[in-house]
Structure 1
Amino acid sequence: MNRHWGKLVTGFLAVSVLGAAGVWAYDSSTDREGAPGMFSASGRLELRAVRPSSGTGGRIVGLSVREGQRIRSGDTLAVLDSRAQTTRLTAARAAAAAAQEAVVSAARQADAVSTRLEQARREAERYRRLLEREAVSRQLAEQAETAVEQLESQLRAARAAEDLARRRADAEAARVRVAEIELDETVIIAPVDGVVSELLLRQGEIAAPGYPIMAIRESGNARLQVYLPLDSAERVQTGDSARVFVDAYPDRSFPGTVETVASEAEFTPRDVHMPDERATLVYEVAIRVEDPSGMLKDGFPADAWIRWDPGTAWPESAPW
């Protein structure tokens, strides 16, 4: 990078397989000599990695993308063999339909008992009035009361059976929803915009449930990780503004925001080649970079200017 705003000392750190940022540089005199209220640092951009998977698993019968392909959220990435899921869904729907029919039948039986109970209660009341006038025997009146008690018991049993049938129907409906989800998960959909960085499985291979099928680097969600010494890091706060520059687009900057500032110091990562840099205690600062157009790529070298003093205006153009 041929950019100077104060004196920069640049070290190099390779990007690890975990995607950690590399190549950091910082000059503690920058804010005093070249840009009051700001600090500079360098690193490599890291795009968030997304690894789509299927919750149901199965053999991959269709793979719609290739490595390096740019994709949009909602695109179909892969299709799994869905025969087993289709069979389970068909069986679940049949069981749910039968369970719903059982609910209807149980409800009808309970309603029929309820109707008979109302009739028995009216009959028992009529016998009580006749007994008061001594128009019927006590035995007939007691038989009418017994009939009411028996029908009340039958109604409780019928309502319990109806309630049980409804719970079974609810359980079968839940199984249908699970089967539908499992069938839906045989089609892997892109959750974000981005670029397919790696295919972890190929067509014809079996994807285990939850095992990622590919890796996607999400566009528009870049992160830059830099390191600052204590006297600089203590002035930087979460939410501070930043401007990020990359060699690929020398005539523009990308706005950023300080996302995190480490609370504990660490030695400069050992992959930095300069011994004096490795021996320096620094604080990790993560910057979220705005890139709605998806112009930035994973691993781009980048320079960042962090504005720790909100009263400092950004220059109209970078002085390099």
Structure 2
Amino acid sequence: IYMRRKASGVTQVTTETVQRRDILQVVTAFGSLNPQVEVAISSKVIGQLERLYVDEGDTVAKGDTLVELERNRYRAAVSSAQAALRSARSDVSRVEANLNQAKETLRRSQAMFDKNLISEDALLQAQTQVEVQEAMLESAKNNVDRAQGTLEETQDDLDQTTIIAPVSGVVISLSVEEGENVITGTMNNPGSVIMTIAQLDAMEAVVDVDEADVVSLEIGQKVKVEVDAFSDTFLVGEVVKIANSAKLQSVGGQETVANYEVKISVPEPFEGIRPGMSCTAEIEVEKAESALAVPIQSIVTARDDPQEETGGGRPKTRNGMTRKRDAVFVVKNGVAHQRIVETGIADDRYIEILDGIEENDKVVTGRYEALRALQDGDRVEEISSGFQGPGKGGFGGRPN
């Protein structure tokens, strides 16, 4: 199916003319869409949910009443705190009167002592009474402050039985019903989440990017986001956050995959998008404009690299190992000539050629088995592409 060779030794191949085109290299990642602003509504006090004013899917404005809890116990606490405050203030008035009386007694005692009518002990006793009443007044005033604080705390608890919307948005989830009890959270136990409000006018795509691709990402890169539920449209966004630590996932045996969470801002989502919808993100990492390009399947591993044989040396990888050279076959006058090429970036169909061929050269693109077996100097005959083999662009990857 893939190769036809005439009895004369001519191999039938398909070709494509080298042209200039824009190459956009992307990193593809998968994830879901979520609101940028999502607020979990919970209660700051414990109580029974007495009335629920919204339902899931409702739109609310900041300040709207969402929930009312049972208030009787909190009203009683406020009444008790008010009574305690009144009592504390009465104590202050009483102690102030006693202090004034003690001061008057001290004034008279001092006058009598100056006339030698009373002893020094009597004068000291009067002075002590003044100091005692002053201390009692300070304590009474402190009691007023404590009672005032208790009243404010109980009043705040009463106020918290009415829960209002902290932001405008849409109720995307509702977790309780009227009559249920809600609890507050602690350090170790989360409280009851009554509902979640989200602002759907600004979304973000949260995707997992492979460790091999994350090194190409930068904040601000443009992204095309396709929502699985809306296959005929796409959103435009940009990278706003790249995780510093990986999420490790075991895929069987001892093999572990490391992915990095990347957040993509989508400021203008279209109507109908719901939180949690699956999406595919194509992140633009590099672009080459008007670059010489050939189909990816035309790139092969160089046969009998002349630089290696003449001692010119072959390129090295980072660990010092020899890297095989890329090559293409250029057809001229019915003969396939191998050309060593330097490649650049690639998209899903074409790869940039930095050096080794020229514009308007004809390169062999298939068929797959023919290209795999082709050698420098082989005679070829160009035919129509016809059937395309498996894989993108009609081929199952690049030949060896």
Query: 1:290 Cα shift?
Result: 5.3
Deviations 1:75-134 (A, max 9, x none): 21111121221122112112111211212221232243234435544654x44xxxxxxx
CA contact (8 A) 1:68 1:197 kept: yes
CA contact (8 A) 1:242 1:287 kept: no
CA contact (8 A) 2:23 2:288 kept: no
Aligned residues: percent identity? 20
1:165 aligned to 2:140?
A: yes
1:175 aligned to 2:153?
A: no
Equivalence map 1:218-233=2 (5 Å) = 218-219=198-199, 222-233=203-214
Equivalence map 1:32-111=2 (5 Å) = 34-35=23-24, 39-47=27-35, 50-111=39-100
RMSD over aligned Cα, in angstroms? 3.6
CA contact (8 A) 1:54 1:212 kept: yes
The structure with the largest alpha-carbon Rg is: 2
CA contact (8 A) 2:208 2:261 kept: yes
Specify which structure has the higher proportion of helix.
Answer: 1
Aligned with residue 284 of structure 1, among 245, 253, 260:
260
SS at match of 2:275: coil
SS at match of 2:24: coil
Instruction: Select between 100-109 and 153-162 the one with higher mean Cα deviation.
Output: 100-109
CA distance in 1, matches of 2:123, 2:270: 77
Find the counterpart in structure 1 of residue 306 from structure 2.
none
Deviations 1:149-177 (A, max 9, x none): 21221122112211221222222112211
Equivalence map 1:1-320=2 (5 Å) = 34-35=23-24, 39-47=27-35, 50-118=39-107, 120-121=109-110, 124=113, 126-127=114-115, 140=116, 143=119, 145-210=120-185, 211-212=191-192, 214-219=194-199, 222-236=203-217, 239-243=219-223, 245-247=225-227, 250=233, 253-258=236-241, 260-264=242-246, 266-267=248-249, 281-287=257-263, 289=265, 291=267, 297-306=274-283
| 1:150–1:301 CA distance, 2 compared to 1 (3 A) | same
SS at match of 1:35: strand
Query: 1:190 Cα shift?
Result: 2.0
CA distance in 1, matches of 2:72, 2:288: 63
CA contact (8 A) 2:237 2:267 kept: yes
Find the counterpart in structure 2 of residue 30 from structure 1.
none
CA contact (8 A) 1:49 1:218 kept: yes
CA contact (8 A) 2:42 2:195 kept: no
CA distance in 1, matches of 2:84, 2:205: 54
SS at match of 1:52: strand
SS at match of 1:196: strand
CA distance in 2, matches of 1:105, 1:304: 75
CA contact (8 A) 2:235 2:266 kept: no
Instruction: Select between 70-79 and 178-187 the one with higher mean Cα deviation.
Output: 70-79
TM-score, length-normalised on structure 2?
0.54
Q: How many residues align?
A: 256
CA contact (8 A) 2:209 2:262 kept: no
Query: 1:256 Cα shift?
Result: 4.7
CA distance in 1, matches of 2:184, 2:103: 50
Runs (5+) with no aligned partner, structure 1? 1-32, 128-139, 314-320
CA distance in 2, matches of 1:288, 1:121: 84
CA contact (8 A) 1:70 1:195 kept: yes
SS at match of 1:253: strand
CA contact (8 A) 2:24 2:284 kept: no
Runs (5+) with no aligned partner, structure 2? 1-21, 186-190, 290-400
| 1:244–1:118 CA distance, 2 compared to 1 (3 A) | farther
